């Protein structure tokens, strides 16, 4: 792998001449950024590159690539700070610790090192028009708030994870009341200084309001699907992966961390050797999970798929699994769901009833929800889908329709644009080519132009006319807890009645 250009291991920062002028100068602070391919990195990258394409001068203050493996990218070994040019965006990177084991202490040291790098070596951007930050990291958001205050410009955080809640709910060693108190205090510091706060899901709103953020400053800006539709025949991909035509494959992709609670899938594989469980990805718990699995013949660990193969691998599985620890209630909504829905396969969510993940799966009509940390309930849900292929196909077909209607890239970026424009006191800017990218926010319902490079989701939905009625995971653990909902044949818009408290608005269509 080529070393980044402009490398400086000493005192100075390697720089490039930007040599461009834009309508606005914007600073995005996100510890995670390209070339990271999982988690929030792709969203930060797409936002920044989108602004650059619109003619803005865009700077990103980022960390060194390390996620999801929690291993420093070898190309950045020994690099303390560097400035790169990527797709029209100037990326200022600062070194930080990369803990291979996640504990409250190592996480605190990681956050402290992120803050130290940003404070000691702020990016040389000139005065920006606004500072936008993605949470996590919490320390990056603190640095962003300080930079916005220094320049006296609007500060707009977008909350991907609630860090105070994460300290309590993720299961991290050493987490608990004290760690949550510290993280919560830092989070309040950040959010109370914001002109507006974006959140990716309405289930985050009560926690923010409870921490003192006025409801009229919160906007819901959901994530979007950033993968293309599958293009290869399922049988071809299954054969390449060694998955037999008649076998049952349950696939989990993405980060293997604490909050995912992937032990439930290991135990599910142990309970039924006829079901092949595939864990694809990387993360701090991968080696722990491999040790727990031992020599189970029906449990496979795969590296992350190449970007061009990823949608086809998802589509080749029989069931896509999303799992979380039972303690995870309102701290996060896995970004993998946006990719799962686009893949067109049924989802089984082993998550707590009422959490954001449960509400997304239920809202989409594309899967079933079962109790968390219950391998038998998960297996029962998988077996029920395998035994009823028509139902499995009907649920799976709802995912791409929901993704096209509610999770399109154009719509998602338009919401972020409107959030920024509102913070700046500007009208929403039309997208290049004169299209408005018009969407309604979560309280508005409809979206338009949200194709994300697909065919617009021009499908009529399954002709089975059946939705899964496992509302908010209310299951009895018997047959997976699924009941059939109304025989309407419609795909839930889901954004029209988000359940957000009064005063919470979508970023567009207000």
Contact 396, 346 (CB under 8 A): yes
Tokens of 210: 């409870």
Neighbours of 232 (CB within 10 A): 14
Distance from C-alpha of 75 to C-alpha of 72, rounded to nearest angstrom: 8
Query: Are 210 and 325 a contacting pair, CB within 8 Å?
Result: no
> What does 103-161 look like in DSSP terms, one character per residue?
BHHHHHHHHHHHHHHHHHS-----S-SEEEEEES-HHHHHHHHHHHHHHT--EEEEESB
Burial class (CB in 10 A: 0-12, 13-18, 19+), 15: middle
Distance of CA 48 to the CA centre of its chain: 16
Q: Give whole-number Cα distances, 507 to 153, 414, 500, in Å.
A: 20, 9, 13
Q: What pLDDT does residue 391 have?
A: 98
Burial category of 296 from C-beta neighbours within 10 Å (exposed 0-12, middle 13-18, buried 19 and up) = middle
Taking the chain (510 residues) in runs of 10, the rounded mean pLDDT of each run is 40 38 85 92 96 97 93 95 97 94 82 93 96 92 95 96 56 57 79 95 89 94 90 95 94 89 96 97 91 96 93 97 84 83 96 91 96 97 97 97 92 96 85 40 35 33 31 34 33 38 43
Please, are residues 473 and 324 in contact by the beta-carbon 8 Å criterion? Answer: no
CB 61 within 8 A of CB 92: yes
Helix (H) or strand (E) holding 282: strand 275-282
CA pair distance 129, 245, nearest whole angstrom: 56
Query: Which pLDDT score, from 0 to 100, does residue 453 have?
Result: 34
pLDDT value for 68: 85
Q: How far is CA 461 from CA 364, 398, 455, in A?
A: 12, 6, 14
CA–CA distance, 192 with 337 (Å, rounded to integer): 30
- Domains parsed from the chain with CATH numbers: 7-195 (3.40.50.2000), 234-405+458-473 (3.40.50.2000), 406-451+502-506 (no CATH)
- Inter-residue contact 44 to 87 (CB < 8 Å): no
Distances (CA, A) of 179 to 108, 160, 174, 176, 182: 9, 19, 8, 5, 5
Q: Is the distance from CB of 224 to CB of 169 less than 8 angstroms?
A: no
Q: What is the DSSP letter of 211?
A: T
| Cross-strand partners of 130 | 26
Closest CA to 218 of 226, 228, 227, 210: 210
The b-or-e profile of 428-438 (16+ CB within 10 A means b, else e) is: bbebeeeeebb
199 beta partners: 159, 220
Kindly state the tokens that stand for 322.
């999303």
Strand partners, 468: 484
Provide the pLDDT for residue 440: 36
Nearest CA to 421 among 258, 196, 122, 220? 196
At residue 483, the pLDDT reads: 32
Determine the Cα–Cα distance for residues 297 and 295; give it in Å rounded to an integer. 6
Q: Is the pTM of this model over 0.85?
A: no
Distance CA(77)–CA(86), nearest Å, equals 19
Query: Half-sphere exposure of 78 toward its Cβ, with a 13 Å CA cutoff?
Result: 7
The counts of H helices and E strands in the chain are 15, 16
| Element containing residue 277 per DSSP (H, E) | strand 275-282
């Amino acid at each position: 792998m080529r070393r980044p250009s402009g490398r400086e291991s000493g005192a100075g920062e390697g720089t490039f001449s930007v040599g461009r002028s834009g309508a606005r100068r914007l600073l995005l602070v996100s510890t995670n950024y390209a070339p990271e391919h999982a988690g929030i990195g792709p969203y930060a990258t797409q936002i920044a590159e989108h602004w650059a394409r619109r003619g803005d001068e865009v700077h990103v203050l980022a960390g060194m690539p390390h996620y999801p493996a929690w291993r420093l990218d070898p190309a950045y070994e020994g690099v303390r700070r560097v400035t790169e040019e990527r797709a029209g965006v100037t990326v200022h990177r600062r070194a930080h610790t990369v803990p291979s084991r996640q504990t409250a202490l190592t996480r605190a040291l990681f956050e402290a090192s992120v803050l130290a790098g940003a404070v000691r070596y702020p990016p040389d951007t000139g005065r920006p028009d606004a500072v936008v930050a993605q949470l996590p990291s919490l320390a990056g958001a603190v640095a962003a708030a300080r930079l916005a205050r220094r320049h006296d410009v609007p500060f707009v955080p977008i909350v991907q994870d609630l860090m105070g809640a994460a300290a309590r709910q993720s299961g991290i060693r050493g987490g608990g009341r004290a760690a949550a108190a510290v993280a919560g205090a830092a989070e309040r510091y950040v959010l109370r200084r914001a002109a507006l706060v974006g959140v990716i899901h309405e289930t985050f709103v009560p926690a923010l309001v409870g921490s003192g953020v006025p409801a009229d400053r919160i906007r819901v800006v959901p994530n979007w699907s950033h993968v293309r539709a599958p293009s290869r025949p399922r049988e071809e991909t299954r054969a390449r992966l060694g998955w037999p035509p008649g076998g049952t494959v349950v696939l989990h992709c993405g980060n293997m961390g604490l909050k995912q609670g992937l032990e439930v899938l290991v135990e599910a594989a142990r309970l039924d050797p006829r079901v092949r469980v595939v864990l694809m990805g990387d993360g701090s718990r991968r080696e722990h999970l491999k040790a727990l699995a031992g020599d189970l013949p029906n449990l496979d660990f795969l590296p992350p798929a190449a970007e061009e193969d990823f949608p086809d691998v998802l589509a080749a599985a029989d069931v896509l699994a999303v799992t979380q620890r039972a303690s995870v209630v309102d701290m996060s909504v896995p970004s993998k769901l946006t990719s799962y829905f686009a893949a067109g396969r049924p989802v089984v969510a082993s998550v707590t009833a009422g959490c954001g993940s449960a509400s997304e799966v239920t809202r989409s009509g594309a899967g079933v929800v079962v109790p968390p940390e219950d391998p038998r309930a998960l297996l029962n849900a998988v077996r029920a889908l395998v035994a009823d292929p028509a139902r499995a196909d009907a649920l799976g077909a709802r995912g791409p329709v929901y993704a096209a209607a509610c999770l399109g890239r154009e719509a998602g970026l338009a919401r972020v644009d409107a959030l920024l424009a509102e913070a700046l006191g500007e009208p929403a800017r039309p997208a290049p080519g004169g299209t408005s990218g018009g969407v309604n926010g979560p309280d508005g319902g409809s979206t338009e132009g949200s194709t994300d490079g697909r065919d617009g989701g021009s499908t009529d939905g399954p002709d089975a006319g059946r939705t899964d009625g496992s509302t908010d995971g209310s299951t009895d653990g018997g047959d997976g807890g699924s009941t059939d909902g109304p025989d309407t044949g419609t795909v839930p818009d889901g954004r029209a009645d988000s359940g957000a408290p009064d005063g919470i608005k979508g970023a567009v269509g207000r």
